[in-house]
Amino acid sequence: MKISVIVPTYNSWNTLRECIDSILKQAPRPFEVIVVDNASTDGTFERIQNSKFKNQNYNLKLKIYRNEKNLGVTGGRNRGIKEASKKSDYLFFFDHDMVADKKMLEELVKVAEMDKSIGIVTPKIYYFSNRKKIWSSGTGINLWTGQILFRGGDDAGQYEKIEEVQVAPAAMLVKRQVIRRIKRFDNKYFATFEDTDFCFRAKRAGFKTYYAPKAIAYHKIPEDPKEEAERLLSRAYFVARNRILFMKDFGKPTFWFFLPIYFFYYLRLALKYKRINAIINYLKGSINGILEN
C-alpha cells in the first residue's frame, strides 16, 4: 500500500515543521511526502530545504517544490498531484497547520478499504489547543441555504461512528481512482470551498466520502470566538465568492433568497470587530461570484 502525502504551504515554517514531523512518524510510513511552497516570502522554502527532514533516513522520499506565485490551496494541491508518483494507491492531502496522531493514516486506510465505493476518508480533527474539543468530524452543507454544517464541539462520544459525510475538510485520504476520474481540485476556488467542491464532484463520479473516528489529527486554528471571527473576516472575499460559485453548481434555487442574510451576518461581524474592509471584500466577492461562470 503506497501513500503520497501532499502538503501545500505559504509563509508557515513554524507550523509546517511539526506537521511534517508528524507525517514522517506515521505507521505505515508514507511512500513519499510532497511539500509544495506557494512562493513564501518568509524563508519557509529555504528552511524546508535545509531542515533535518532532508538529512534523516526516514526510508521515504521527501520532495519539495516551489510555485512561482501563490496559487492557493488548490494550486498547491494540484502541483502535488502532478508531482506524485503514479505508483501511489492513495493521495493524502493535509493542511500545513495540522498535526497527525501516529496511527492516523493507518486508521484512514482501514476505513477506505471497507468498500470499493469509498473514495475519500477524513479523520476526527481536534483543536490543537484543546484536545477535548472537536473542530471537525466531517462537515456538510445545506444545499437549500448554503449554510456550512459543522460536526464538532466538546467530545462527549457523539462522533464515534464510521459513517458517510458530505465533506472532508483540511485532511483527506483520496483513492487513486478518484483522481483518475475527477483529475484535480478546481483552481477557481483558490481557498475555501475547494474541499466541498472536490467531495461533491467525487460523489457525482460515484465515490463516497467517509469519516474515520479512530483516525486523529489536530488543527492549529483559533478556538477563541473573537480570533475565529477575525480569521473568518480575513477570508471574507473568498467565503462570499466561493459559496456562490459552489451553490451555482450544486445548490438549490432557494439559495439566492439567503444572500442578504449572509451579507448582514458579515456586516454585523465587521462592525463588531471594526473591520470595515472585510465587508467591502465580502461585497466584492459576492459580485464576482454572481458574475463568474
- Give me the number of domains the chain comprises: 2
Which of 157, 151, 135, 148 is closest to 218 using CA atoms? 135
HEC profile for the chain? CCEEEEEEECCCHHHHHHHHHHHHCCCCCCCEEEEEECCCCCCHHHHHHCCHHHCCCCCCEEEEEECCCCCHHHHHHHHHHHHCCCCCCEEEEECCCEEECCCHHHHHHHHHCCCCCEEEEEEEEEECCEEEEEEECCEEECCCCCCEEECCEECCCCCCCCEEECECCCEEEEEHHHHHHHCCCCHHHCCCCHHHHHHHHHHHCCCEEEEEEEEEEEECCCCCHHHHHHHHHHCHHHHHHHHHHHHHHHCCHHHHHHHHHHHHHHHHHHHHCCCHHHHHHHHHHHHHHHHCC
- Please tell me the predicted confidence (pLDDT) of residue 50: 78
Say whether both 40 and 177 belong to one domain. Answer: yes
254-291 pLDDT, tens digit each: 999 999 999 999 999 999 999 999 999 999 999 999 99
Whole-number Å distance between alpha carbons of 235 and 246: 16
Write down the pLDDT at residue 59.
53
pLDDT higher than 60, residue 19: yes
Pair 174, 233 in one domain: no
Q: For the chain, what percent of residues have pLDDT higher than 90?
A: 89
Domain containing residue 116: CATH number: 3.90.550.60
**Is residue 153 located within the same domain as residue 14?**
yes
Q: Are residues 124 and 164 in the same domain?
A: yes
Q: What are the pLDDT digits (tens) for 158-205? A: 999 999 999 999 999 999 999 999 999 999 999 999 999 999 999 999
Distance of alpha carbon 40 from the chain centroid: 19
Of 57-71, 194-208, 219-233, 268-282, the one with minimum mean pLDDT is 57-71
- Indicate the residue among 219, 244, 276 that finishes a domain: 219
Residues 276 and 215 in one domain: no
Q: Does position 56 have pLDDT exceeding 60, yes or no? A: no
Q: Which domain holds residue 69?
A: 3-219
pLDDT at 1: 87
170, 192, 219 — which closes off a domain?
A: 219
Q: Is 15 found in the same domain as 155?
A: yes
126 pLDDT more than 60: yes
Count the alpha carbons within 13 Å of 272 in the hemisphere toward its beta carbon: 12
158 and 202 share a domain? Answer: yes
Q: Are residues 205 and 243 in the same domain?
A: no
Q: Which pLDDT does position 54 carry in this prediction?
A: 56
Give the model's pLDDT for residue 53. Answer: 66
Q: Are residue 268 and residue 170 in the same domain, yes or no? A: no
Q: Mean pLDDT in the chain?
A: 94
Residues 160 and 74 in one domain: yes
Could you tell me which residue, 263 or 46, shows the higher pLDDT?
263
**pLDDT category of residue 49 using cuts at 50, 70 and 90:** confident
208 shares a domain with 252? no
Buried b (16+ CB within 10 A) or exposed e, 47-81: ebeebebeeeeeebebbbebbeebbbbbbbbbbbb
Asked which of 219, 247, 270 is the last residue of a domain, the reply is 219
Q: Is the pLDDT confidence value at 55 over 80?
A: no
* 273 and 138 part of one domain: no
